[in-house]
Amino acid sequence: MDLNKFKSKIIALYQSLRSEKKAKFNRHVSFGDLFTDRWDTARYLGFGDGSSCYDNVLVLGDVAVGENTWIGPNVILDGRFERLEIGDYCSISAGVQIYTHDTVRWSISLGKEPEEHAPTKIGSGVYIGPNSIISMGVSIGDRAVIGAQSFVNTDIPEEARAWGSPARVQTQN
Report pLDDT digits (tens) over 21-31.
Answer: 899 889 888 88
Alpha-carbon distance values, 155 to 57, 95, 121, 159 (Å): 24, 20, 9, 12
**Rounded (5°) CA angle 166-58-111:** 65
How far apart (Å, rounded) are the C-alpha atoms in residues 114 and 4?
49
Query: For the whole model, what pTM was predicted?
Result: 0.90
Report pLDDT digits (tens) over 105-120.
Answer: 999 999 999 999 999 9
pLDDT of residue 35: 86
Q: Are 116 and 99 in contact (CB under 8 A)?
A: no
The torsion angles phi and psi of 3, rounded to 5 degrees, stand at -60, -40
pLDDT of residue 172 exceeding 80: no
**Rounded (5°) CA angle 52-159-125:** 15
